Structure 1
Amino acid sequence: MLVATTEFRPVFSAFDLDADGKISAAELRLCMKAALGEDMSVEDAEALVSSADADGDGLLDEQEFTKLVQLETGEEGRGGLREVFGMYEMKGEGCITPASLKRMLSKLGSHQDIDECQAMICRFDLDGDGVISFEEFKIMMDA
């Protein structure tokens, strides 16, 4: 199932550092460094981009980025999904809070206010506790 691109628009925008509507391997590397604190090699970033680059321009547009996220979060990639969740969760809490979402989006260059983050969380907060658990995150990613 192809995930609607609008669900990933804030993440895409955060990775698209120069706001040109495309994500380069260099932008991907920078965001992965900011998000995970780990260096991704040039070769790995280029391979990841080329794995979803349908038009062959060496860049990911929003549709290609969504395809990549879908591939990385498929059944085989559930460990990758846990890593993505870990980027956004409040350390030690096991959930994504409005503050932790705001902090991570800010690190990625997308500055949202706390109300916008609460609204983003509210859309997928199935139990109404004001945060996103890993189970809710999995449902959100499969939406």
Structure 2
Amino acid sequence: MKSENVNKRDEYQRVFSCFDKSHQGKVSVSTIERCVDAIKSGKRAVVDQEDTTNPNPEESTDDKSLELEDFVKLVEEGEEADKEKDLKEAFKLYEESEGITPKSLKRMLSLLGESKSLKDCEVMISQFDINRDGIINFDEFRAMMQ
């Protein structure tokens, strides 16, 4: 797991370096925004060296800059938001109005080609049902999926 984090860190550093053309360890937020907008629109993103830092540090600028640590946090927060969205979509496949019941689990498993009895589904749910109400709510589902 540690080597995975090191590899991820190296990848973040590599991407950050692409933005940091001036090699000052800072990237302007507007530069990142322009690149993201270009990617969304299908255009080629261009990072100008002058845009990455304030040429005169004595002057005030409205544009904030990110250092590598800030950049990493920004990227990882986006990844977490994507994971949460994916979990919510998966949860909706199983849930009835109040959460995942043994009946809804049985139905979904059946659709996936896995035949289980209602009793089997009750046992499966009981393994992750933290509040012991017989239903998997979203928080329990999230914990189960981690």
Q: Give the TM-score taking structure 1 as reference length.
A: 0.45
Larger Rg over CA atoms: 2
Q: Give the TM-score taking structure 2 as reference length.
A: 0.44
Larger RCO of the pair (alpha carbons < 8 Å, separation 6+): 1
